[in-house]
Each structure stands twice: as C-alpha cells, then as structure tokens.
C-alpha cells in the first residue's frame, strides 16, 4: 500500500516537472526594432550685391598768370602731375585748367577727363592727354592790375555746365593759385567795408551755384596763396582765404557739411610760401564718400543644386542684415515669395539694371520682400519625404502572436489600414513612391533580406518613424 502511494507521488512530481519544463523552456518572443532616417533640411545664405562707382569730381584749376606770377616751375608741374594721378585713381574726374586772369585775346582751357562719356562738342575740343597737362599751364601773362578770381571761377563753371564738364550732384572743387589777391572790389576807393561786401557777395554766389545750380554734394574753393608777403611780388592774401573759409563752413543743401578741415584757422587755404601742394587733396579725399549703387533683387535661387532635391511646400524664407533676422517672408504674391520652379537665365535683379541671370530652381520676391543691398536672404528647404510600405523581420513570425507598433501606435492586421504578411525576400526595397502609389518602388532604394510585412493605407510610414514588432518565431520543421 505504501509502495503504491509512493509511486503515485513520484508520478505526480515527474508530471509537474515535465509540465514546468515545457513552459519554462519554450521559444522566447522576438522583438524587431528599427527606425527610419529623420527628415533632412538644407539652408542657403546668400547676400545682395552692389556696384562700386567712382564718385564724380569736377575740378577747376585757375593758374596765376599775372605779370608777377612765379608758379610755373618744374616743382609745380610735378605737383600738378602728382595731383592728377591721385585724382584719376580715386574718382570719375573732370579737370579743367585755365588762366586765373582772362587774357585780352585767346582764353585757353584744357580738359583732362576720365572718359568722354556725356561730354559735349565744346568740351571734347578742350581734351588733352593727361601726359600733356604740365606743358599746357604756361599761360601767357595777362596785363592790367585787376584780379577777379572768385568771379572768374563762377563764370567758367557756368560756361561749362551745358557741355558736361561741370555736372550736377558732383563734388565740385575750385583751386585758385595766386601770389596776389582778389582786388576786383576796389573802385574809386578801397575800404575794409567794401572788401567785406565783396567777400560775402562772392561767397553767396558760390553757395547759390552749389545748392541751386549744381545741386552739388559739395563746392570747395581752395586757395593756394601767400599768407605773408614772403617774396618779391607776393602780397599777403585775405579775400581768397575768407571765401575759402566761409564756403567751407556753410552746409550744402544736398549733403552734410564737410569736416576734413575742422580745427584749421583757415580751412581750405594753403600757404604757397611754405606748402607743397602735393598734399592738397589729403583732406578733401576724406570728405568724398565712395558711391555704392545698391542692387535690388526680385528673384532668388533655391540652393545651388541643379536638381529639385526639396519639397516646394516646405520652403521657408527670411531676410537678414548683419546676421540678424529683420523680416520673415511669408508665401504670398503680394509682399512675400512665390515658388516659380526651374528657370533658365532668369535675371535676378531689377536695379540698377536687369541682370545677374541664374539658371536653376528659384523663388520670386514680391513687393516689400524684394532684397536690397546689404540685405541677405536665407532659404530653408526640406528634402522630399520618403515613404515606407514594408517592415523587415529577422525571423519567420507566428502570425497569431504578432504585435506591430509604429511610433508606439498599435497597427492591426488589415489590408486596408494595417499590415499583411508577404513572406521571405532575398532583396526587398522597403520604400514606395507615395501612399497613393504603393506599388511603385521608391528611390533611392533601401534593400533588405528577411521576412516582410506589407503596410496598407494609413499604416504606411515615413521619415523619423520608430517601428517595433513583437512576435513568436514560427516553429522550424
């Protein structure tokens, strides 16, 4: 009896151990996890341009040709050449040379110009090569004792406006070289009062010429004169120096007042007794600002690629100045951008002229979105999304145990909006063209080997997706 009971207990224990072993040592579940590549973005940062224009500078040199003049020497000829060379390297220049005192017969004028553009017939008749300038300043001495340098400058400028020598909106500079002084105010008597009236009258006439006639950026009256009676025939100068100072100190109507001579007792005057006028333009150069002709753009490239490797619906555009965003440009046809696709030799700018053609994919900038120097445009694009219609498994699954998750969302088995098992493939492209074209392979291909699920409807996934499949591997035969 005891033996029988013992056998029953041993049988039950063996059965328990066997049943536990079957459960404990069953094939474990498999988990296949993967993720798709994130969306990629491209950004281009391009800036507007400009055209550097040499500023227009019109110079009138009035050379002393009085009977006592001493200035046409090898030194002054060299200084003249140095001055012309300096001006020609910096500016769009017209340099007109004439005698200070009008001769009784011929009144010669000699013109050196950067180009003949917009010069009239009478101006072109005065043109000489730059190399001949120093040989043309030996003006014949004038007779008489009256010197009217201020009025002479005004007259010559007015006589040479219509022929294009003295231009509007230019920097106009008169240089008077004299060892005497303007004494044309002297009538039957000479007085300090008469001299003052003369100085102010000529200064006012020059200001009117600057602001009303020439609308000039500046008009300077530079006097190279004797500050003292430093040599025989030299007279201490007053009138020219005062005109130089007063004109300099007056503010132009169309520009800021120059400041390069501030601090000098006699601005724009140089002592011919001690000064080498090679340095005549050192100060004036600082007062002439280079002209930057700003370009205006209404078309803009999208990247530098010849391929449309972006999604047009994702374009983002912003405008920057000095690295800071000053405008986020929306997508619209009024004051925003519109995508115009691939263009061939499309002019990108409207000002100062149409130009800078570009071939490639572009946007059009409309209204206030147009770009002007020094603005920069940033175009951000998203590369086209990839679509995935298959999931790779590393083992053959037991379908009744399948659990599929995409971005932690459970996906059911369904040929409408879920998954179906399609078996083993040695080389399967898991990408499709789009959810609307699931039977067309996507490019570039992503090929894998294994067992595959096919996704349907809204179970088709895209970039940045996390995929997890939990299942029991199917028993092997």
Domain boundaries, the chain: 41-51+294-382, 55-289, 386-473
Count other Cβ atoms within 10 Å, centred on residue 300: 23
For residue 25, the model assigns a pLDDT of 44
d(CA 231, CA 228): 9
d(CA 383, CA 390): 21
Q: What is the pLDDT of residues 203-243, one digit of tens each?
A: 999 999 999 999 998 999 999 888 988 877 788 899 999 99
Q: What is the pLDDT of residues 7-22, one digit of tens each?
A: 445 454 444 444 444 4
- For residue 331, pLDDT over 50 is answered with yes
For residue 57, the model assigns a pLDDT of 92
d(CA 256, CA 274): 31
- % of the chain residues with pLDDT over 70: 88
**Second-level CATH architecture of 55-289:** 3-Layer(aba) Sandwich (3.40)
Torsion of CA 398, 403, 404, 408, to 10 degrees: -160
d(CA 278, CA 8): 129
Higher pLDDT, 256 or 7: 256
Provide, for the chain, the percentages of residues in helix, strand and coil under a 3-state DSSP scheme, each rounded to the nearest 5.
25, 35, 40
d(CA 347, CA 345): 6
Which residue is it, tokens 């999604």?
A: 311
Q: Distance between terminal CA atoms of the chain?
A: 46
d(CA 245, CA 248): 5
Mean pLDDT, the chain, integer: 87
- % of the chain residues with pLDDT over 90: 61
Q: What is the pLDDT of residues 50-62, one digit of tens each?
A: 887 788 999 999 9
Q: Are strands 337-351 and 92-99 parallel, antiparallel or unpaired?
A: unpaired
Higher pLDDT, 125 or 143: 125
């Amino acid at each position: 009896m005891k033996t029988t009971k013992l056998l029953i207990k041993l049988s039950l224990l063996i059965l328990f151990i066997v049943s536990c072993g079957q459960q404990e040592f069953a094939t474990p579940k498999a988990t296949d996890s993967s993720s798709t590549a994130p969306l990629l973005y491209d950004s281009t940062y391009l800036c507007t341009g400009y055209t550097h224009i040499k500023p227009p500078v019109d110079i009138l040199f009035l050379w002393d040709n009085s009977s006592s003049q001493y200035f046409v020497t090898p030194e002054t000829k060299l200084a003249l050449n140095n001055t012309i060379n300096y001006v020609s390297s910096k500016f769009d220049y017209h340099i007109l040379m004439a005698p200070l005192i009008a001769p009784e017969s011929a009144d010669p004028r000699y013109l050196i110009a950067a180009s003949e553009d917009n010069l009239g017939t009478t101006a072109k008749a005065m043109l000489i090569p730059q190399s001949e300038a120093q040989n043309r300043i030996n003006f014949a001495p004038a007779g008489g004792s009256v010197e009217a340098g201020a009025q002479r400058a005004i007259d010559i400028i007015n006589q040479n406006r219509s022929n294009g020598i003295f231009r509007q909106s230019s920097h106009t500079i008169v240089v008077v070289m004299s060892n005497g002084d303007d004494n044309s105010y002297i009538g039957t008597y000479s007085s300090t009062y008469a001299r003052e009236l003369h100085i102010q009258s000529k200064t006012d006439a020059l200001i009117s010429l600057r602001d009303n006639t020439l609308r000039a950026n500046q008009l300077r009256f530079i006097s190279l004169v004797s500050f003292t009676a430093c040599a025989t025939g030299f007279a201490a100068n007053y009138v020219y120096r005062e005109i130089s100072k007063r004109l300099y100190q007056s503010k132009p109507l169309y520009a800021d007042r120059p400041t390069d001579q501030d601090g000098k007792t006699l601005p724009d005057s140089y002592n011919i007794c001690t000064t080498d006028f090679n340095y005549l333009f050192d100060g004036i150069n600082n007062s002439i600002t280079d002209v930057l002709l700003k370009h205006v753009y209404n078309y803009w490239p999208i990247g530098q690629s010849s391929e449309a490797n972006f999604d047009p619906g994702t374009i983002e555009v912003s405008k920057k100045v000095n690295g800071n965003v000053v405008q986020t440009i929306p997508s619209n046809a009024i004051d925003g951008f519109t995508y115009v696709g691939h263009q061939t030799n499309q002019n990108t700018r409207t000002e100062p002229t149409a130009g800078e053609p570009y071939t490639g994919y572009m946007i059009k900038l409309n209204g206030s979105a147009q770009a002007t120097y020094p603005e920069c445009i940033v175009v951000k694009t998203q590369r086209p999304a990839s679509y995935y219609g298959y999931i790779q498994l590393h083992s053959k699954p037991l379908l009744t145990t399948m659990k599929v998750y995409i971005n932690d969302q459970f996906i059911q088995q369904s040929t409408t909006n879920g998954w179906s098992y399609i078996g083993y493939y040695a080389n399967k492209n898991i990408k499709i063209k789009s959810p609307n074209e699931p039977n067309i392979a996507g490019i570039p291909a992503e090929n894998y080997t294994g067992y595959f699920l096919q996704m349907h409807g809204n179970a088709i996934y895209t970039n940045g997706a996390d995929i997890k499949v939990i299942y029991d591997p199917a028993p092997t035969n």
